[in-house]
Amino acid sequence: MANPKVAVVVPADRSGVSYREIEAAGCNVELADASWSAGFNATNEAYLSLCANADAVIGSRLEGLPITRERLSKLKNLRIYCRYNIGYDDIDLKAASDLGIIVTNSPVESNWGSVAENTFALMLSMLKRIPERDRHVREGGWREDEPAARYIGRRLDGYEGLTVGLVGLGRVGSRMADLLQPWRVKLLAHDPYVDQSKFVHHNAIPVDMEPLLQNADVISLHCDLNDGSRSMINEKQFSLMKPTAIFLNTARGGLVDYDALFDALDRNVIAGAGLDVFETEPLPKQSSILSLGDKVVLTPHSAGRTPGGINQNAIVMQTEILLTALRGVVPKYVVNTEVLPKWRERFGNKSLI
């Protein structure tokens, strides 16, 4: 019997340790071109060639190359698709389940915790107007005509503080809620998919979406992208927000109608936005968002990336998951659990290593 083939679509492990571990288990490892290491530059032809006859695929998201039913259907031997990312919205999960392919993700704290921290930093940057104040000083200014910052938490003098609204109370949203606790803000949250006890645990007031948008001074998205949530924030939702509101998105670009966001900022429907994710990535140089100046603070979909963080932890996790699946055992962190009956029928207890 030939050794199982493992295709590495994003060769993020620069040390090569994980690849040697997979080879030591009896697999043939084939790496994508080094130019794919940041998730870009993959072509359909090269992708299908790399993954042909693969029993397992491992790596990160390939920008501009969604994992569609058509692509998955060509991978006849595939039993598992391992992702170093938390997100998997670019993979057709229904197709994977129909074809009997497990998809796993990497909910490592170094990723989601960092996203929460980055969200918090964007919030502070916008409310305290750090980029504007920095430029003011560099251009020779001091306190004259200084851009005014906002005080965040309630005070003993009767100032009630700001209201922060979190859309989604999963890992990132919960950590964001915890980071906000010492700041004495009023915390609203909307998440119909979590138990009431989670709101209590994180000191958040459960509310429907509309009152959250109407009452929050800061609105921050922390939800998954799927068919039901795509463009969930559009012209109607922006029209409900305060003209002083700050909007934050470190979740997924597809959650927001970015044309509507541009219009809301351009027409002063809302005051500003802190963004780490976009509809098109990398953000095109001609994007209208770039013309908004200090109304936006932007980061390059890097909120979850810290040295020694996501890749190191996720690579170790997914290497173990991959080898588990090749031994015919259901691994951890399966995101399309509906596949399991068919997967067990096809691969259960059928070890390749």
The reply to whether 304 falls in a domain is: no
pTM confidence score: 0.90
- Which of 275, 298, 321 terminates a domain? The answer is 298
Which CATH number belongs to the domain containing residue 244 in this structure? Answer: 3.40.50.720
pLDDT at 185 (0 to 100): 98
Exactly one of 61, 175, 222, 301 is catalytic; which is it?
301
pLDDT at 308 (0 to 100): 66
Query: Is residue 243 a contact partner of residue 266, using CB atoms and an 8 Å limit?
Result: no
- Tell me if residue 109 is catalytic: no
The reply to whether 323 falls in a domain is: yes
Structural domain total, the chain:
2
Shared-domain flag, residues 216 and 328: no
- Tell me if residue 301 is catalytic: yes
Exactly one of 129, 171, 175, 252 is catalytic; which is it?
252
d(CA 228, CA 348): 33
Q: What residues make up the domain containing 325? A: 5-108+309-347
d(CA 57, CA 308): 23
Shared-domain flag, residues 135 and 156: yes
The reply to whether 288 falls in a domain is: yes
Shared-domain flag, residues 54 and 181: no
Burial, 158: exposed, middle or buried (Cβ in 10 Å; 0-12, 13-18, 19+)? exposed
pLDDT at 311 (0 to 100): 65
Query: Is residue 4 a contact partner of residue 28, using CB atoms and an 8 Å limit?
Result: yes
Shared-domain flag, residues 47 and 92: yes
pLDDT at 146 (0 to 100): 86
Shared-domain flag, residues 157 and 169: yes
- Tell me if residue 222 is catalytic: no
SS3 289: helix
Q: Which residues of the chain have pLDDT under 50?
A: none
Exactly one of 71, 281, 305, 320 is catalytic; which is it?
281
Identify the DSSP state of 99. T
pLDDT at 351 (0 to 100): 97
pLDDT at 38 (0 to 100): 83
pLDDT digits (tens, 9 = 90+) for 67-108: 999 999 999 999 999 999 998 999 999 999 999 999 999 999
Shared-domain flag, residues 170 and 286: yes
